[in-house]
Amino acid sequence: MREIVFDTETTGLDPKTGDRMVEMGCVEMVNRVATGETYHAYYNPQRDMPSQAEAVHGLSASFLSDKPLFKDIAHEFLEFIGDAPLIAHNASFDFGFLNSELVIAGMEPVSLDRKIDTVALARKKHPGAKLSLDALCTRYGIDRSHRVKHGALLDAELLAQVYVELTGGRQIGLGLAADAAPSEAKPNEVAADLIGRPKGARREPRLHRASTEELARHAEFVAQMETPLWHHTGVNKRV
């Protein structure tokens, strides 16, 4: 199953009061395994950057001034996510900003039916515990030493690891065929789902059988050997 883990950075906390999205980061996962495919973009919010927000993510209005508007490259993001479920930490926040930007761009908002909230998953699994991304990384031993400030792609990459832990742990690869009955899950099919099925027309298997000419050439080659090893072992081997 294909899923997208994503994170946003913004100018503030509420798109209804004029705050805008300034960064998007996405990580593709298939069967809970990161594929290495990502999407990342900065956006010009066409407004100032409050100091409190800049202190969190380090993105200044000057840095963002030459970046594209979300509406001008929204198609790239929509093409990347396709129809996959979308996973975010405190997902209502990220969905709120994403759908606000889509509406501003004159596009249909993303259905909330696609939303998976890792805060809700963590609250159910660890009631009463701290549920921030930092706290969950600490709980699961996920290295975040390179995270000096918030960044959409970096946070999405960390969240992808947290999501795996919340939904089965690092040994989840052993149960990739859990959705199928044991008799239905064939090892080669599981491996194909993990690494991606080959594209293009299927090539018929090649017969690996020596021709008469090849056998004759081999016999001629063997006959030229002096004191071959198998003559000393007393073991007759079929060549």
Q: Where do the domains of the chain lie, and which CATH numbers do they carry?
A: 2-173 (3.30.420.10)
Cα–Cα distances (Å) from 56 to 37, 100, 118, 149, 150, in that order, read: 26, 21, 21, 6, 6
Q: Enumerate the β-bridge partners of residue 166.
A: none
Question: What pLDDT shows up at residue 125?
Answer: 96
Task: Split the chain (239 residues) into runs of 10 and give each run's mean pLDDT.
Answer: 97 97 98 96 97 95 97 98 98 98 97 98 96 95 82 95 91 46 43 50 62 82 76 52
DSSP 8-class letter at 60: -
Tokens, residue 46: 């066409």
Respond yes or no: is residue 89 known to be catalytic: no
CB 64 within 8 A of CB 45: yes
Q: Which of 40, 89, 150, 208 is catalytic?
A: 150
Question: What pLDDT shows up at residue 210?
Answer: 74
Using DSSP's 3-state secondary structure scheme, residue 236 falls into coil
- Select from 117, 194, 193, 128 the least CA-distant residue to 162: 117
